[in-house]
Amino acid sequence: MAAGFFSGVSGLSALSLALIIPILYLLRVSFCCVNAKSKNRACMASRLLDEVIFLQKMWQQIRGDVTGGATAALVALPLSLAFGIASGAGAVAGLYGVVFGGLVASVFGGCGVQITGPTGSMIGILVGIVSQHGVGGMFLAGVLAGLMQILFGLLRLGGFVKYLPQPVIAGFTNGVAIIFFMTALNDARAALSITVITAGMILLALRYFKQVPHSLFGLAAGLIANELFVHSRHVVGDLLFHLPKLALSLMPFREVGALLKPAFSICLLGSISALLAAEVADGMLGVQHNSNRELIGQGLGNLVSSLLGGLPVTGAVARSGVNVQSGGRTRLSGILHSVFILLMVLVFAPVVKRIPLASLAAVLMIASVRTVTWQSLKLIPRARWHYGAIMTVTTILTVVKDLTIAVTVGVVLAGLGALVEQAFSLRKRGFSPSIAEATGFSCPAEIQVLALEGPLFFVGVEQMRRRIRTLAQKNNLVLDFSAVSAIDETAALALRDFVHRLQGEGKRVYIGGLQQEPLRMLIRMGVVDSLGRWRVCKHLSSAVRRAAEHKAQEPTLVPLGQPRDEN
């Protein structure tokens, strides 16, 4: 029902924009033409044609943003309801967060296609705050977290997430998934049959109807089953959704000191989630977001949402991905996402209040399972023992302590491991130009060789990216690892993702000169298979030769009008 309505709304919006904007322009230009002298009418007609072409191009972009924002809204609505209820603040708090917090973050953020709203990763922190300090304490913690994020952005600390080790990120992500799965258990048990039906329909949609918003599909099934057969009284209830008022009177300002630590956890988790989501969106579009501006936008979103009585918000990877895949390309898509949710709530409030809490619990449980970084768990048997140890410790501390302690301990352990590995790694001489000349090594002019030196650990990943970006001038690149004595799991996975991004930009990348230990790491982490075995070579000369052979096989384009050489 909601999907049908919304497709109508988005279609109506598209039709309105497609007709109204060109008509206004045509009327303006026509008016000018009527009042112009006859000798200028040819010029005005040409101007009219240029403006029509411009409007057509502009509409193509607007149409994608409308579709992306509408699709993301359909995905976000049931999640916002579920997260609001699970936090203890109520469904309306989740809606206020996605509408007002998401709107502000989209306007001021540094990633144009980021979709911001309440997320499951926050639930564990928010439940703890509400239980100890009440809903007002959660609002105050959200305000403090927003101020911290704005400060971090002004201090240009937006790049810190790029220095976090991969097992730490995977560890706390798995930890928060466990927390909000456990949070949903009570409501799930209240009407187990509804939970099973909703979860089953979500899984069915994920498997066979991938174009349908799976959460909305499951909620509809749970709602129908409850209305016709089960008749559970555990439902959302009346939504007192009205023009919000400032929540300052609810905030326990005397407890600011006690709320600083959970506020920092919200700030840390929200910042990491938003920046990681922005990185994913960058990879999908081949662009680069402004991480410092994104932090400021997220901080302003949290500030506005919490002051108006909404949940703290952050960028959502899945919803941002849905937005991009559906055509979203600018920040207009994020703005429309919030506007469309507001419209849906106002129109379908009588239906929303009848949604069973067990259905929302099923949505949470499925979302938590999908949040787990299963790929990282699969890498544990292939990686070194401390990769799995750091991930496990971070996960356990996230569940039994809090996120701040978990990330701090995880980073310290990863740093100690890197220091020990660097101390015991063998340092070998690199492939210098003098050695290359002595061995008769030559590099074709159309191929560029970029040399890396020293051990490559998680702390050096961002420097590697910047160096390659700065120095790369040709489309055929060979990365020389002759002087790289060691590489850890985080750097190996980052190298894989970075090379894929370069390939998406039209560059051909080869890796050569790998010593035994770095090559073994790339093989164990699946990087060689992902990039292609013919692109990863043990010897630098082999990588250069393969790059030259591939270049030679490219077809030569002959300009029109130029005769071909038939000889």
Count Cβ atoms below 10 Å from residue 255 Cβ, excluding itself. 16
pLDDT score, position 124: 85
pLDDT tens-digit readout, 396-409:
999 998 888 999 99
* Predicted pLDDT at 562: 46
For residue 121, the model assigns a pLDDT of: 82
Taking CA atoms, 245 is separated from 72, 172, 465, 472, 558, in Å, by 27, 35, 46, 53, 67
Most confident of 267-276, 294-303, 424-433: 294-303
The lowest-confidence range among 193-197, 215-219, 258-262, 324-328 is: 324-328
Q: What is the mean pLDDT of the chain?
A: 84
Check residue 428 and give its pLDDT.
38
The H or E element containing residue 555 is: none
**What pLDDT is recorded for position 431?**
38
- Taking each helix axis from N to C end, the angle separating 192-208 and 357-371, rounded to the nearest 10 degrees, works out to 50
Q: What is the pLDDT of residue 243?
A: 83
29 falls in which pLDDT band (50, 70, 90)?
very low
Mean pLDDT of 462-468: 88
pLDDT digits 0-9 by tens, 135-147: 999 999 999 999 9
* pLDDT of 434 over the 60 cut: no
SS3 string, 422-460, reads HHHCCCCCCCCHHHHHHCCCCCCCCCEEEEEECCECHHH
Of 75-89, 91-105, 415-429, 527-541, which gets the smallest average pLDDT? 415-429
Model pLDDT, residue 60: 67
Q: For position 554, what pLDDT does the model report?
A: 64
Whether 557 shows a pLDDT value over 70: the answer reads no
pLDDT in the model for residue 180: 78
Contact criterion met (CB below 8 Å) for 178 and 368: yes
CA distances from 310 to 32, 89, 93, 338, 360 (A): 49, 8, 4, 13, 18
Q: Flag whether pLDDT at 432 surpasses 50.
A: no
Mean pLDDT of 357-383: 91
What's the pLDDT tens digit per position in 62-87?
A: 888 988 898 899 889 999 999 999 99
**pLDDT recorded at residue 427:** 42
pLDDT of res. 463: 87
pLDDT digits (tens, 9 = 90+) for 219-253: 999 999 999 999 999 999 888 878 889 999 999 99
Query: Under the phi-then-psi rule, with left for phi > 0, alpha for psi from -120 to 50, and beta for the rest, what region is 409?
Result: alpha
pLDDT score, position 535: 93
User: Rounded distance, CA 448 to CA 479, Å?
Assistant: 9
Query: What is the phi-psi region of residue 118: left when phi exceeds 0, alpha when psi lies from -120 to 50, beta otherwise?
Result: beta
Angle between helices 166-183 and 357-371 (to 10 degrees): 160
Q: Which residue has the higher pLDDT, 23 or 430?
A: 23
Distances (CA, A) of 563 to 11, 557, 567: 51, 12, 12
In angstroms, the CA 550 to CA 552 distance is 5
Cα 46 from chain centre: 44
Which of the pair, 284 or 76, is modelled with greater confidence? 76
pLDDT band at 210 (very low <50, low <70, confident <90, very high): confident
Residue bearing the bigger pLDDT, 316 or 280: 316
Residues pairing with 449 in the sheet: 478
With beta carbons less than 8 A apart as the criterion, state whether 9 and 343 touch.
yes
Q: Tell me the C-alpha distance between 361 and 37, whole Å.
A: 70
Q: Is the pLDDT of residue 333 over 50?
A: yes
